[in-house]
Amino acid sequence: MSVSVPVGQKPPHRRLLHRLFLALSGEYIWFYLLLIPSIVLLVCVVIIPMVFAFKMSLGNTTVVTVGGKGSIQSVWVGLQNYVNVLSNPYFWQAFRDTVYFSVVSLLIEVTAGVAMALLMNQQFFGRKVFRVIVFIPWAVPTVVNAMLWGMVFDGDNYGALNDLLLRMHWIQTPVIWLDPAPLFQGIPWLSSFISWLGGSVAMNSMIVGDEWRTLPIVAVLLLAGLQTIPHEYYEAAKVEGASAWRQFQAITVPLLGPILSIVLILRTMQLLRAFTLIFTLQQYGLPILSIEAYQQAFSFGNFGAGSAISFLIGILSLLIAVVYIKRLYKEEM
């Protein structure tokens, strides 16, 4: 960019062209060429479909076959799909179930995830191997994980978990782990409270199955965070006679905080789009939001309503994404 041109003397459009020419002929041409494929991919595969989804959600969009030609046609209905979706109790039930699924999972990750990370950070025999083993479930494909937990939670007495519990005489009859029935039926008020929150036996089983696969990544990332805390801090605390709990409160929690919050935000977004595990084991029996969207579109052929729901999930995720990205930039500062 060593050639300097007195740009002020040219009419604006010429100025622009000239700049473009310079950009394209100089070494900066690489810059734009390198960026173009990614931008094209982004526009074609994310932005256009998003806009298209919004357009579909504003119409009664269905498959129509006329005169031997198939097509998907959209009859403009404005925001009617959104009104229908938001006034439908099923949607709110699905919303509640999704929130329950996400919140309980996050609670487990905050507690058990942190505990696992702390454990991995201790000195003990075989620690290196332990760290590798703990990470393995994360590599198991989600569908395989679903099938595996389907076998574990089989409600017949030859289901793995039932067999174990029956052998140990902890239960007398097999438990139906995948049944969307209320929990703790012996204690009515607790049972109805948890049902009201969206919890059921099946939902909690789903959470356990999902956590088996996702706790490792949470724990391993938190471990990486723990390892960045200088050891001297703990040494100093020890000299001052601080208890282990006090050290945890005063050093670990504040210093682990940033990475913990980022991991949790990431997980929230993953939980909102959870689909595979629940769909494979329950089909439409436990309709969380993404399954509701899928059913509307691909089972009922209601692409308008399906798009509306998925657009809502998209907006919700984007809102959380903004929080996340802001957080990232704050870290960078």
Partner 1 sequence: MKQKWMQLLLGLSTVASLVAPAGMANAATAPKVVLKVLYMNQAGYTTTVLRQMGKQFQKQYPNVTLQFTFLPYPQMHSAVLTSAAAPTAQYDVVLSDLIWTGEFASRGYTLPLNSYITQNVKNANQIPQSVWDGFKVGGKIMAMPFLANFQNFYYNKNLLKKAGFNAPPKTMAQWLHQMQVLKAKHIVQYPYEDSWMQAEGLVCDYVRTAGEFGNGNLFNAKGQPIMNQGPALKALQWMRQLYADGLANPNSLTADEPTAANAFASGQVAFNTNWTFLTGIMDTKSQSKVVGQGVVTTFPVAPGTNKTTHSADISGFQGLAIAANTPASLRPWAWKWIQFATSPAVQAQHLHSQWPVWSQIASSPKEKNLNKWAAVYQKNLNSVYNRPVIANYLQVSSIIQQYVHEAIAGTIPVKQAADEMVQQINQLKA
Partner 2 sequence: MLLRRASKKFFLYACVIVVLLWTLSPLYFLMITSLKQYVGTITFPLSWFPTPFTWKNYAIMFTNYAPDSISYRFLHALLNSLIASSATTILNLVFGSAAAYVLSRARMRGKNIITMIFLASNLLPTVALIIPFYVLTVTYLNGWNLYDTNTLLVIVYSSFSLGLVIWIMRGYFDSIPTELEEAARVDGASRLVSLLRIILPLTAPGLLATGLLTFLTSWDNFVLPLVLAPDASAYNLPFFIYSLNGQYLHLNNEIAAGGLLSAIPPVIIVILFGRYIVSGMTAGAVKG
- Selected binder of partner 1 within 118, 119, 138, 182 (CB under 8 A): 182
Q: Does 325 bind partner 2 (CB under 8 A)?
A: yes
**Residue 287 · residue 206 · CB < 8 Å:** no
Q: Which is nearer to partner 1, 243 or 299 (CB)?
A: 299
Q: Which stretch binds partner 1 (CB under 8 A): 50-58, 118-126, 179-187, 250-258?
A: 179-187
For residue 254, CA distances in Å to 139, 249, 320 come to 30, 8, 22
Helices within 26-175 (DSSP H only): 29-42, 48-57, 80-87, 89-108, 114-120, 127-135, 142-152, 160-167
Chain position carrying tokens 């209320």: 182
- Selected binder of partner 1 within 32, 52, 196, 298 (CB under 8 A): 298
Q: Which is nearer to partner 1, 81 or 282 (CB)?
A: 282
Contacts with partner 2 by CB under 8 A: the residue count is 97
Q: Which of partner 2, partner 1, none does residue 301 bind to, with CB < 5 to 8 Å depending on kind?
A: partner 1
Q: Which is nearer to partner 2, 135 or 193 (CB)?
A: 135
**Residue 199 · residue 267 · CB < 8 Å:** no
Q: Which of partner 1, partner 2, none does residue 56 bind to, with CB < 5 to 8 Å depending on kind?
A: partner 2
Query: Phi, psi (5° rounding) for residue 273?
Result: -100, 10
Q: Does 297 bind partner 2 (CB under 8 A)?
A: yes
Q: Which of partner 1, partner 2, none does residue 83 bind to, with CB < 5 to 8 Å depending on kind?
A: none
Q: Which of partner 2, partner 1, none does residue 266 bind to, with CB < 5 to 8 Å depending on kind?
A: partner 2
Q: Which stretch binds partner 1 (CB under 8 A): 65-73, 124-132, 138-146, 254-262?
A: 65-73
Q: Does 17 bind partner 2 (CB under 8 A)?
A: no
Distance from the Cα of residue 289 to its chain's centroid: 12
Query: How does DSSP assign 221-235, residue by residue?
Result: HHHHHHHTS-HHHHH
Residue ranges in 184-203 that form contacts with partner 1 under rule CB under 8 A: 202
How many angstroms separate the CA atoms of 44 and 17, rounded? 27
Q: Which stretch binds partner 2 (CB under 8 A): 14-22, 88-96, 214-222, 247-255?
A: 214-222
**Residue 229 · residue 250 · CB < 8 Å:** no
Give the total residue count for the chain.
333
Q: At what angle do helices 48-57 and 303-332 cross, to 10 degrees?
A: 140
Q: Provide the mask over 270-289, with x wherever binding to partner 1 is found by CB under 8 A and - wherever it is not.
A: ------------xxxx----
Question: CA nearest 302: which of 100, 77, 23?
Answer: 77
Residue ranges in 194-213 that form contacts with partner 2 under rule CB under 8 A: 212
Q: Which is nearer to partner 1, 225 or 306 (CB)?
A: 306
How many C-beta atoms surround the C-beta of residue 169 within 10 A? 7
Residues near partner 1, by CB under 8 A: 62-66, 68-72, 154-158, 173-174, 176-182, 202, 282-285, 295, 298-301
